Structure 1
Amino acid sequence: MRAAYASKFDADDPLAALVVGDRPEPAHPDPDWVTVQVRASSLNHHDIWTLRGVGLPADRLPMILGCDAAGVDPDGNEVVVYPVIPDPGDPRGMSLLSENHPGTLAERVAVPRANLVPKPAGMSFVEAACLPTAWLTAYRMLTTRGRVDEGEAVLVQGAGGGVATAAVVLAVALGKRVYATSRDAGKRDRIAALGATALSPGARLPERVDVVVETVGAATFDHSLKSAAPGARIVVSGATAGYEPSVNLRRVFAMQLEILGSTMGTPAELAGLLDLCARREIRPVIDETLPFSGVPEAFARLLSGNVFGKVVLDHAG
């Protein structure tokens, strides 16, 4: 079957490690695994890190890339693939598709049957393929960890990236006042079009917020602390601009702030996200959709850093 995979590692030129070609059919390591016919998949920065050699040992090469997919199961059901696989042999107790098991950038992918979540009838495969990683991460940050239902205002740092842009759309759909920062003026215009108040990094907010979605790290963390209302939740799922911020602990205890880590989500949370998107007619922000033959162009687009939303592969092309 055709697939996009890492053939080697190249820290300086990750695209040089990318190959599109034939790979063996998916194997089933356990009887409860099934094969899904992939109709659409989407890219994540995790795929770029893999090509650079981060998090994947060389003895697992070649490795099919990709965490996100939507497709059809053996019974003909339209499904979204939950990408977290229980893995007792991994120190974390789990792994993502494309780490210990082949990923979703292929014609077919094997996963445990329990990892299949029904796709809403009104949502396309291309739209559904955007949700399992970045959008699920944002959903968990806002709901389970951030308890956004208890608040009225949200700050999203570094909007434009996949998780942050998803957080803006979801928080607006949940009826919250949303503030979002970006260094890029063009992205601020696009953020405003999604319903948020767009600000430059570090700008003073009109009010203190109840939830902060923090994926940037050291570059924005002081601003996140200063923007938080008493009892606010600062939810962290990334540190793209430094992972060792200076933290004013007096502000943390005086304001009774909660600093919470968050990663991914559960199958039940993915089902909740899909239900919310169906009920509120929320659709993911898509930067570009390319046919599977455009895999190299899709990776180059993601690597450019100029994306706004998800880069998606339509496997029909």
Structure 2
Amino acid sequence: MLAVQATSLSPSDPLQGLTIGEHPDPQPRDGWVVVTPKVTSLNHHDLWSLRGVGLSADQLPRILGCDAAGLDPDGNEVVVHPIVTSTGWQGPEPLDPRRTLLSEGVDGTFAERLLVPASNLVPKPADLPWEVAAVAPVAWLTAYRMLFTQAGVRPGDLVLVQGSGGGVNSAAIQLASAAGIRVFATSRDAARRDRALALGAERVFEAGARLPEKVDAVIDNVGAATWSHSINVLRPGGTLVTCGATSGDAPTRAELTKVFFRELRVQGSTAGTREELTDLLRFMAHHRIEPVIDTVLPLSQARTGFARLLAGEAFGKIVFTH
């Protein structure tokens, strides 16, 4: 079968280890089933894997990819939950200390066939397009959990999304807007600010700009570069939810005095649960949400998509058809 694999790792030149070619078909085993993906989508996680983050040389070759929507062995339309939990784990999947993501401890989704635990399959709503379903498991599920579980925002609340171009951030803007939540968004790029307005943001600002009012929650995956700004714009009792640190994880100031004096909450977030994925898919179908799709490519041309993501040219998701 055709597969997109990491065959070597390089922090400075991640694409040198990207290989597209034939790979043996996966074989079913107890508790695991073979899914035939219809559409998959690319995440920054896939580039980090090629850099050696979460993936080591002794695990290679490894099929990349975390997102997938396709058909189970009985022909049912399904979406694949990306977290593989350890044997016997009973709690929320993101809290399992021994959890792994597809493409880390096991092969990922960028292949013509995919082996996953049967319990990881979630029904795809019949009226949800394949491309919409395929972007949900990582970026959109991350945004959904950040907003509604970790920040606990409600209709009428005000949220700041730090950076408006990535998959998680554009998803957060669309989800919040659909739920009746006010959204401010930042970006260094004027064109991306305009796109954020088109997605449903109420107002947009340059990165680090003074806001006209304090916000109830901040969605932040930038890290060090936006940390102080994110703390400063929160109302007393507000919540900063972080799911990443693309600019580094060591801010110049920790802002601890502001955190305790204003009783702020700093909440981490990673992906989401199977139940949240089910709720997200229903929410997207009910509200007829159309995720921003930057590029659609056949799986055989995956390198073009990886290069576009690496260059920072993508706005929204890059998806592969199978």
Specify the SS of the correspondent of 1:4.
Answer: strand
The SS at the match of 1:148 is: coil
Partner of 1:131: 136
Question: What residue is the counterpart of 1:45 in the other structure?
Answer: 44
- Amino acid in structure 1 at the alignment position of 2:35: V
Listed one character per residue, the Cα deviations across residues 69-91 of structure 1 (whole Å, up to 9, x for unaligned) are 000001111000001001359x9
User: Which residue of 2 is the match for residue 118 of structure 1?
Assistant: 123
Aligned partner of residue 189 in structure 1, secondary structure: helix
**If the length of structure 1 is used for normalisation, what is the TM-score?**
0.95
**Cα distance in 2, alignment partners of residues 5 and 34 from structure 1:** 20
How far did residue 10 of structure 1 move?
A: 2.3
Equivalent residue number for residue 188 of structure 1: 193
Identity of aligned residues (%): 54
Which residue in the other structure is 2:167 paired with? 162
Q: Deviations over 1:262-289 (max 9, x none)?
A: 1110000000110110111112111111
Count of equivalent residues: 314
Once superposed, which parts of structure 1, at least 4 consecutive aligned residues long, lie more than 6 Å away?
none
Give matches, 1:142-291, under 5 Å: 142-149=147-154, 152-196=157-201, 197-245=203-251, 246-291=253-298
* TM-score calculated relative to the size of structure 2: 0.94
Q: Does 1:15 align with 2:20?
A: no
Residues 289 and 311 in structure 1, CA contact (< 8 A), matched pair in contact too = yes
Contact 1:134 1:163 in 2 (8 A): yes
- 1:270 and 1:243 map into 2 onto residues whose CA distance is 28
Secondary structure, in 3 states, of the residue corresponding to 2:125?
coil
- Identify unmatched segments of 5+ residues in structure 1: none
Structure 2: distance between partners of 1:123 and 1:275: 9
After superposition, the Cα gap between the structure-2 partners of 1:11 and 1:250, relative to the gap in structure 1 and judged at 3 Å, is closer
Look up the SS of the partner of 1:155 in the other structure: strand
Unaligned runs of 5+ in 2: 89-95
Correspondence list, 1:66-105, <5 A: 66-87=65-86, 92-105=97-110
CA distance in 1, matches of 2:78, 2:290: 17
Residue 154 of structure 2 aligns to a residue in which SS?
helix
1:37 & 1:83 partners in 2: Cα distance? 15
Shift of 1:151: 5.8
* Cross-structure match for 2:26: 26
